[in-house]
Amino acid sequence: MTNIRLASISLDCADPADLATFWASLLGGEIAFSSDDFAAVKLQGIWLSTVRVENYKEPTWPEGDVAKQIHLDLAVGDLEGSEAEAIRLGATRARFQSAPDRFVVLLDPAGHPFCLTTEIPD
């Protein structure tokens, strides 16, 4: 058994405060630290940070001109309701949907794709 655990995920972006606000609101976390170049969102058991990158370019997934950089799957009980809430908070629905009855692909405000899914058990 290992004592290693995932402690933090960092997302590159142009506007760390804006992206941190989105993720804190979506995941029920709180922004614990914020500066012009970095923000840290405290979640249950993990941190999500947003980091300013000079000349940041949004992913162009699935086309691939600019790599998706990361892909997060978020477990939900209500696919439609969760999608509506994510969009209300600033996400957009991706054009490409491979299995919309089980996974809804959205893009965060910095363009990172993520999925809402009912396929991951609690």
Closest C-alpha among 67, 77, 72, 115 to residue 93: 115
Spatial separation of the C-alpha atoms in residues 26 and 45, rounded to whole Å: 16
**Do 69 and 22 belong to one domain?**
no
**Do 79 and 27 belong to one domain?**
no
Spatial separation of the C-alpha atoms in residues 46 and 116, rounded to whole Å: 19
What pLDDT is stored for residue 6 in this prediction?
87
- 97 to each of 10, 30, 80, how far by Cα in Å? 25, 30, 14
Q: Residue 87 is part of a domain; what is its CATH number?
A: 3.10.180.10
Closest C-alpha among 64, 31, 36, 65 to residue 49: 31
Please report the DSSP string for 51-69 in residue order.
Answer: EE-TT-----TTT-SS---
**pLDDT for 35-94, tens place per residue?**
999 999 999 999 999 999 999 999 988 877 888 788 899 999 999 999 999 999 999 999
**Do 76 and 120 belong to one domain?**
yes
